[in-house]
Structure 1
Amino acid sequence: MAITFAESARSTVGVEWEVMLADPRTGELVGRAPELLSELEAASQHSRHTVTGELLTNTIEVTSGVGATVSQAIDDVAQAIREVRAATDPIGVELLSAGSHPFAQWYQQDVSEHSRYHTMIDRTQWWGRNMMIWGIHVHIGVEDRRKVIPLVNALSTYLPHLQALAASSPFWAGERTGYASNRALVFQQLPTAGLPWTLESWADFENYLDDMVTAGIVADATEIRWDIRPAPRWGTIEVRACDGLSTLPELASIAALVQVLVEHLSRRLDAGETLQPLQPWYHRENKWRAARYGLDATVIVDRRGTQHPVAEHIRMLVADLASVATDLGCDQEFRGIADIVRDGASYQRQLAVAAEDGDLRRVVAHLINEFRSGPHSAVRSAP
């Protein structure tokens, strides 16, 4: 099966952000996206950004246009959020983002009226109905499809770093899970989700997709829901491993880190280097450790099995790749990565709020406040 990889300018950026709709008084999710979307979609029709629905009616997704820089893509997202607020504020609906809602129950949520979603639910049943998860997706343009699979393989080494920084789902259906990112382990229950297969070339990806379509497992490449995947329609690599970011500055920082990593690895390919991915069993272990321990995880960083505390390794990356961030014009956003490590990720801030009196409604109020005002309450609290 020949798969066309669209033309895309190198290291351009696109960002998608899944946002929850909630009642500010109770903290409960509200399924009001359908009544809002027709107006919001029409308003964004001629804009760089888009506003669309998602699997559940309690969710709206905002998507940037193609950004030459991270700041351009984030400006698109900020404008989209302003338009969403103009529709939600008058009807008393608040916005928040995290990998999971602290206490919502799956059986109280409605699935959007879209055949694609109902087909997925029909196939996956209980696990599909439990997909009360929210994430961000970062697209980075790749100018040559021959680079795509080597970049996916090499970038997978850094998925636990991204997952730990973005971890924001320590609660599930009213319970503390003991995980920084419960979403990471829930999402991989879908049959085509989870870590990518280690392939050798674009031809291998075409053969893989041909097998999947022939067997009736998927209809097209969009149904491959790997943590990082080729996005042929856009000419990008798409990183999907991260929980929903709770604030816009954190979203910008994660987008910058992904952009910098892809550009750094692309330069190594340009120099004739062969990028060696980690063994698949190391990738699997790293994903679990990042989901369990977040920024307190120790991860495997090379094929020899060398291990580093992920926070320490992130600091090393920020120092080593600062010049790449300068070249890409995302210095400010990239420096925000060090702030997350120093001040704590969303899961840590949520746990700190819950530790005060155990009231998860206060955690929702905290997330609503952070979504409006940015990260605060610097803490270091183990999961």
Structure 2
Amino acid sequence: MSLEPFQQSAALSLGVELELQLVNTHDYDLAPYADDMLRLMKKQALPGSVVPEMTSSMIEISTGVCHSVAEVLGQLSLIRDALVRCADKLNIAVVGGGTHPFQQWHERRIYDKPRFRELSELYGYLSKQFTIFGQHVHVGCPDADTALLTLHRMSRYIPHFIALSASSPYVQGQDTAFDSARLNSVFAFPLSGRAPFVLSWSEFGQYFEKMTRTGVVKSMKDFYWDIRPKPEYGTIEIRVFDTPLTVERAAALAGYVQALASWFMQDQPFLPAEDDYLVYTYNRFQACRFGLDAIYVDPATGKHMALREHILHTLHQIERHAEGLGAASMLQTLRDDVRRDHNDARWLRERQGQERLLAEVVRQAARRLRGQPDA
């Protein structure tokens, strides 16, 4: 099987996907209402799409192709508002966050769709444990080789994305001591991790053909890499973000990706190298475990520094690009949060420290997604 051609897309265009939790309003556990939500959402005239996910207590929303973070936020807000209206009719709630804090994986139901059934047969219990919730950001690339170059440059900033979006400290009622425990579940899949280091589409095609010949891979969907090319869209897709608790933060994170990609494409600040990946897994672990308190090892110099300092330095480097894209104010919110050492994982822990009841934390998180002030 040969690799499909890389389609043309507008450079720096954006698409955002958010996987969201459906919970009942009795004890705020996950509830299998995906079919009902999809039925109600079909009646809404909205941008993007709303589709099922692996288990029946999940739903995925997507924007259409956007060209600014303001457009991303506008579309996510419209879809969110429609979701909330539909959820209210069903007496359920929609929640962000990378994991549900206390759901039990064995109680989940696989959504009745051929691909999900196939994955369930292949991966067994891992499929139900994949009831985790992420944000995916697509950024448009002018051609295939630029896409691969941007992908490998972006890999140095994977710890930034993890720490800024981290919202999964709790799993099955326990504080995991990770800011992002969600990514530990992703790592269990055999084709997760990083993309191979190739910088031309012809080389990537050769790799893809080798993998399909083994029978392990049938399409690009079989790769669960942290960043993967999406040739049918003309994008690269960054997949390490936990779903944030608000659509505003989701849009800000997309703005960060867009400004980084602009810096890479216009200024060519560095050339990626295979040796960048020597510290990749360590940096990824640090960000998952400690969030903004992580240590970051610079792949080029080997220097150790606080991850928050590397994020702040990077935000300064891309400031001009953020301003040109109309993303400066959203990136300022990220900068402010880094300076006060705050992410969604911190918010969830603070709420649990006050309430001592994870169901109440989920209820308050549902209010946050609706755009309502903290109760």
TM category, shorter? over 0.9
Per-residue deviation at 1:53?
A: 1.0
Partner of 1:274: 271
Partner of 1:182: 181
Structure 2 CA distance for aligned equivalents of residues 341 and 335 of structure 1: 10
Partner of 2:205: 206
Deviates more, 1:276-285 or 1:81-90: 276-285
Partner of 1:334: 331
Distance change >3 Å, CA 357–CA 334, structure 1 → 2: closer
Structure 1 CA distance for aligned equivalents of residues 211 and 43 of structure 2: 36
Per-residue deviation at 1:148?
A: 1.4
Structure 2 CA distance for aligned equivalents of residues 48 and 223 of structure 1: 27
Per-residue deviation at 1:210?
A: 1.4
SS at 1:43's partner residue? coil
Q: Is the 8 A contact 1:64 1:74 kept in 2?
A: no
- Which among 350, 366, 369 is matched to residue 368 of structure 1? 366
Per-residue deviation at 1:183?
A: 0.6
State whether structure 2 residue 312 is matched by structure 1 residue 315. Answer: yes
Per-residue deviation at 1:268?
A: 3.0
Q: Map 1:1-383 to 2 at 5 A.
A: 1-44=2-45, 47-269=46-268, 274-276=271-273, 278-343=275-340, 344-373=342-371
Give the TM-score normalised by the residue count of structure 2: 0.95
Partner of 1:381: none
Distance change >3 Å, CA 376–CA 2, structure 1 → 2: same
Cα RMSD, aligned residues only: 1.8
Q: Deviations over 1:270-292 (max 9, x none)?
A: x8x63446532300100100010
Give the TM-score normalised by the residue count of structure 1: 0.93
Q: Is the 8 A contact 1:277 1:303 kept in 2?
A: no
Which blocks of at least 5 consecutive residues in structure 1 are unaligned? Answer: 378-383
Distance change >3 Å, CA 21–CA 327, structure 1 → 2: same
Q: Is the 8 A contact 1:156 1:277 kept in 2?
A: no
Structure 2 CA distance for aligned equivalents of residues 2 and 112 of structure 1: 29
Structure 1 CA distance for aligned equivalents of residues 301 and 317 of structure 2: 21
Q: Is the 8 A contact 2:278 2:299 kept in 1?
A: no
SS at 2:42's partner residue? helix
1:51 partner amino acid: V
Q: Deviations over 1:115-163 (max 9, x none)?
A: 1111111111122221121000001000121111111111000000110
Structure 2 CA distance for aligned equivalents of residues 331 and 198 of structure 1: 32
Q: Deviations over 1:274-328 (max 9, x none)?
A: 3446532300100100010001101112322112211111111122211101111
Structure 2 CA distance for aligned equivalents of residues 302 and 2 of structure 1: 30
Deviates more, 1:195-204 or 1:94-103: 195-204
Which blocks of at least 5 consecutive residues in structure 2 are unaligned? Answer: none
Query: Number of aligned pairs?
Result: 373
Structure 1 CA distance for aligned equivalents of residues 192 and 176 of structure 2: 21
Q: Is the 8 A contact 2:6 2:231 kept in 1?
A: yes
Structure 2 CA distance for aligned equivalents of residues 352 and 175 of structure 1: 15
Q: Is the 8 A contact 1:350 1:366 kept in 2?
A: no
Q: Is the 8 A contact 1:5 1:232 kept in 2?
A: yes
Distance change >3 Å, CA 134–CA 14, structure 1 → 2: same
Structure 2 CA distance for aligned equivalents of residues 65 and 174 of structure 1: 36
